[in-house]
Chain A
Amino acid sequence: MSDLETFRAEARAWLEENCPKDMRDGAGGEENICWGGKQWTFQSDAQKIWLDRMSAKGWTVPAWPKEYGGGGLSKEEVKVLKEEMRKLKCRSPLESFGIWMLGPALLKYGTHEQKLHFLPPIARGEIRWCQGYSEPNAGSDLASLQCKCEDKGDHWLINGQKVWTSYADQSDWIFVLVRTDPKATKHTGISFILVDMEQEGVSTKPIKLISGKSPFCETFFDDATAPKEYAPGVSAIVGEMNKGWDVAKYLLTHEREMISAGGGGLLGGRGMGEVAANEIGLEHGRLSDPLLRAKIAQAEIDGWAFLLTLERMKDEAKAGQGVGANSSMLKYYGTEFNKRRFEILMDIGGSDELEWEGERTKDGKLARSWLRTKANSIEGGTSEVQLNVIAKRILELPGA
């Protein structure tokens, strides 16, 4: 047996032994996610046991090095672990912006001391992080951000406002892009700083969206502070001072990849044609509405070709080929496709899916998801910004 197959057998046996029955229903969906953090209330004992066992094993972040709370697994082993978890229908033990965003940034730009200080609590689900990027006057033009960060000798003083901060009201810490040099040009003079939200100077206010939900907040900094160092060698600033834009760009690329891959993940469920056949019914083996059928077939073609493109880009990256800026293409196409997909699902649902409240629609579950998708092509850089990136970095068009 190869090493990888040995690992597969061991991982499977361990999961069988340790994953509580209630965590083996394959339930995805936002409502079943374990986010962790100081404010977190576990939905069940099983959810807590599952998180504890997985984090003790380092498998909440299997690819991170062991010394930082990870599992120290190779890419191939991580893939095998994910496969085995899928086979047993294990839920993810923990999701968070710490895992998705800050972790990768620290692993790339952080010092050893910063990693030791911040990463293990993320891996254990003890600290929940949020991301402070956009501002009321800095959306697509993110680099024009104005949130001020002044050097006060032993500490930093932060004043300004962030917006579209995901789950800020439920988070413990925030990683923020701030302007540390107001005289420098737009892209220089920005720093990437880590701030404890448990202080008077930081407050949050949820924003109610068209879906009726509030996944985003406004976050206010009024004389908020961060020490120069949280512990010896643990600077509050990640990467070099005034070079925060590099970290931000790296994370934006990372975020685009995740959003586009997430778009792909959504396609893993039932196909639109299958949903339509079940919900609307067939006549002589065909959907009776030929225009809807054509619309679905066209979308399924694009969805399938998009999934293959995700696969091809991954394989190209592995083979050392490929274009980095293609993450913009995937983000653009994946999010636009997801919006189109939900429009079609609403077409299929008809009036039955238009009930906003009540048991029949689980409080308008599909309708609220449909509305949520409208943000896909705005967050993480709008579709138009992605097209700009493609024009500039891939096509190398002048003046782009």
Chain B
Amino acid sequence: MPLVLNEEQEMLRESARGFLDEKAPVSALRKLRDTNDETGFDRGLWKEMAEMGWAGILVEEDHGGVDFGFVGAGVLAEEMGRTLTASPFLSTSILAATALKKLGSDAQKQANLPSIAAGETLYALAVDEHRKHGPAKIAMQAEKHGNGFKLSGDKTFVADGHVADKIIVAARSAGAAGEQNGLTLFLVDAKAKGVSVERTQMVDSRNAARIKFDGVEATGDEVLGEVDGGYMALEGVLNAGRAGLAAEMSGSAQQAFEMTVNYLKERKQFGTEIGTFQALQHRAAHLYSEIELAKSAVLKALQDLDSHYGMAGPICSLAKAKAGDVAKLASQEAVQMYGGIGMTDEFDIGFYMKRIRVAQEMFGDAAFHADRLAQMRGY
């Protein structure tokens, strides 16, 4: 498959850019932050996105979606990265939609996918229990209890956890922390007895939560996929999330870079535009090159998720690692080249630096993915 967007995907990008520039620019995120909005995003806007088919971008038409595939989802994530749009897109439309499509029973699909596509139900994926990502480290217990399970443990850094109606949670039905075997995924109601959610106010003014599961009862119907065999299933879902985050960061990096280059052309010091200084030109040119590499890795990861879902682990690690590092570089260079104004809250660039810092941490930072690639390649 050529490593370029097709016509349909290009059109999606154009319409997304137009929509987001108008309805969800950075100033919208600023407003959500300044008003300490309880939801952390605009439900009305999410409804509009759903009407355009974005919420169901991965959902098959049978279930009310538009089925544009991961490249389509990535195009939207990248555009939202440009405008730093706060929305439940990653959690609900990428993570939950992927989990249900790939792992759900017919009944689970029927019960969930149409409401995802309609933008009616919100989801969260609860994986990590420690400050650093690591699915194998999961210790949360899923004890056999009658015909079902009892879930106990603490989850952290759960994106959209405080607004989710349903939570996909990974727990240990066998084995010990550190082992890949023995994980099971559950789809539980956020209002179930024993679930307590604490909203965490994050650096990027977006939504996350710490969630405590205290003997939460889950029936066999709430198991997503196979009992004890959830590790690889979870990896697949996480890969989709990683590629989505990588696409988002690629968009944020491109936007921050374009703003910076424009500033270099306007700002005058020593009687001339600072963009005439070779010290800055070379840094900008280097960053341009790095961003081009990140874009390639991201597009390939999205394409491979569409064509070789089960084998996309390495390329998704590549995309997440490269986009994370490059986006960090882009935001740091932006603040440095903007100088003092880049340090002010009034100016937007800081929002990019903050969001990128959070997105690169989620589901494994660059070091995690570099190490994972090394392991996969036998060193």
If A309-B293, A333-B289 touch, whether A301 touches B322 (CB-CB below 8 Å) is: yes
A319 interface residue, CB < 8 Å from B?
yes
Q: Given the known inter-chain contacts A274-B378, A398-B265, please indicate yes or no for A309 contacting B296, CB distance below 8 A.
A: yes
Q: Decide: A395 near B284, CB < 8 A? Known: A294-B367, A332-B289.
A: yes
Instruction: State in angstroms the CA–CA spacing of A309 and B298 once bound together.
Output: 11
Binding site for A on B (CB under 8 A): 2-4, 261, 264-265, 272-273, 275-276, 278, 281-282, 284-286, 288-289, 292-297, 299-300, 318, 321-322, 367, 370-371, 373-375, 377-379
Residue of A nearest to B378 (CB): A277
Q: Is the CB of A318 within 8 A of B289?
A: no
Main secondary structure of the interface of A (DSSP, over half): helix
Q: A8 to B226: give the CA distance in the assembly, Å.
A: 46
Q: Is A42 an interface residue (CB 8 A)?
A: no
Residue contacts A-B, CB under 8 angstroms, 21 given: A274-B377, A277-B378, A277-B379, A297-B370, A297-B373, A304-B297, A304-B318, A305-B322, A333-B289, A387-B281, A387-B282, A390-B289, A391-B284, A395-B261, A395-B281, A397-B276, A397-B281, A398-B275, A399-B276, A400-B276, A400-B281
Who on chain A is nearest to B379 by CB? A273
Residues on A with C-beta less than 8 A from B289 are: 329, 332-333, 390
Q: Which residue of B lies closest to A388 (CB)?
A: B281
B265 nearest CB across to chain A (Å): 6
Across the interface, name the chain B residue whose C-beta is closest to A273: B379
Q: Are B370 and A294 in contact, with the CB atoms below 8 A?
A: yes
Q: Taking the nearest CB of chain B, how far is it from the CB of A260, in angstroms? A: 11
Q: How far is the CA of A399 from the CA of B321 in the complex (A)?
A: 35
Of listed A274, A285, A311, A390, residue having the most chain B CB within 10 A? A390
Residues of B within 8 A of A302 (CB): 293, 322
The residue among B281, B295, B322 with the most chain A CB atoms within 10 A of its own CB is: B281
- Considering the complex, give the chain A residue whose CB is closest to the CB of B276: A399
Known interface pairs A312-B299, A387-B285, A387-B286; A305-B379 also in contact (CB < 8 Å): no
Please determine whether B275 and A397 come into contact, CB atoms closer than 8 angstroms. yes
- Beta-carbon contacts of A266-308 to B below 8 Å, as 1s and 0s? 0000010110110000100111000001101110111011101
With beta carbons under 8 angstroms apart, the residue of A277, A287, A326 that contacts B292 is A326
How far, in whole Å, are A326 and B367 apart by their CA atoms in the complex?
A: 29
Cβ–Cβ contact B275 & A384, under 8 A: no
Q: Which residues of A contact B275 (CB under 8 A)?
A: 397-400
Residues of B within 8 A of A318 (CB): 2
Per the bound structure, the CA–CA distance linking A179 and B57 in Å amounts to: 61
A387–B280 alpha-carbon span in the complex (Å):
11
Having A273-B379, A319-B4, A387-B286, one finds 8 other A-B pairs with CB under 8 Å, namely: A282-B379, A294-B370, A305-B293, A305-B318, A329-B285, A384-B282, A396-B265, A399-B276
Nearest-Cβ distance from residue B334 to partner chain A, whole angstroms: 14
> Does A229 lie at the interface of the complex (its beta carbon under 8 Å from any beta carbon of B)?
no
CB closest chain-B residue, reference A315: B2
Question: Shortest distance in angstroms between A299's beta carbon and chain B's nearest beta carbon?
Answer: 10
**Size category, A interface:** 35 or more
- Assess whether B322 is in contact with A395, with CB atoms less than 8 Å apart: no
Chain A residues near B288 (CB-CB < 8 A)? 329, 390, 394-395
Give A310's nearest chain B residue, CB to CB.
B296
Report the minimal beta-carbon distance from B58 to chain A, rounded to whole angstroms. 23
Complex formed: what's the CA distance from A305 to B322 in Å? 8
Q: Which of A297, A388, A394 has the most CB of B within 10 A?
A: A297
Interface centre among A286, A293, A298, A391 (most CB of B within 10 A): A391
Shortest CB distance B105–A (Å): 37
* Among candidates A274, A293, A301, residue contacting B318 with C-beta atoms closer than 8 Å: A301
Which residues of A lie under 8 Å from residue B322 when comparing CB positions?
301-302, 305
- B interface footprint on A370-400 (CB within 8 Å = 1, 0 otherwise): 0000000000000010111011001111111
CB-based contact B374/A293 at 8 Å: yes
CB pair B3–A397 under 8 Å, yes or no, is no
A185 at the interface (CB under 8 A from B): no
CA distance in complex: A285, B292 (Å): 34
A297 to B373, CA, bound (A): 7
Q: Are A398 and B276 in contact (CB under 8 A)?
A: yes
- From A282, A305, A391, B296 is in contact (CB under 8 Å) with A305
A397 to B274, CA, bound (A): 9
How many Å lie between the Cα of A260 and that of B371 in the bound state?
A: 27
Instruction: List the A side residues contacting B297 at CB < 8 Å.
Output: 304-305, 308
Residue of A nearest to B374 (CB): A297
The 4 A-B residue pairs with the shortest CB-CB distance, nearest first, are A399-B276, A390-B285, A391-B281, A308-B296
Do A300 and B294 have beta carbons less than 8 Å apart? Answer: no
User: Which residues of B sit under 8 angstroms from A319, Cβ to Cβ?
Assistant: 2, 4
B3 touches A308 (CB 8 A): yes
Distance A240 CA – B295 CA, assembled complex (angstroms): 41
Task: Mark interface residues in A334-358 (1 if CB within 8 Å of B CB, else 0).
Answer: 0000000000000000000000000
Q: Is A321 an interface residue (CB 8 A)?
A: yes
In the complex, what distance in Å separates the CA atom of A271 from the CA atom of B296? 20
**Residues of B contacting A386 in the complex (Cβ-Cβ under 8 angstroms):** 285
Chain B residues with Cβ below 8 Å from A329 are 285, 288-289, 292
